[in-house]
Amino acid sequence: MDLEEGMARKIAISGGAVSVFVALVLGIGTTYNDGGLGSTGGLALVASIAVFILVMAAVGILLAD
């Protein structure tokens, strides 16, 4: 199955953004884990989700044809 022109670039950029988000969540989990996530870790996790949403929106706008 052939990909349209530029589709591989879009997939790579989107996959990279998701990979950064997963790494960020794992980093938060290991950094703020003291028998549980705690309030600071929870706020960091919520902030990372909000940033991920904004980044994916920006990626979608930039990659829109």
What are the pLDDT tens digits along the chain (65 aa)? 677 878 888 899 999 999 999 999 999 999 998 888 888 999 999 999 999 999 999 999 988 86
C-beta of residue 48 within 8 angstroms of C-beta of residue 24: yes
Cα gap 49→30, rounded to integer Å = 16
H/E run at residue 43: helix 38-63
pTM above 0.95, yes or no: no
Instruction: State residue 21's pLDDT score.
Output: 95
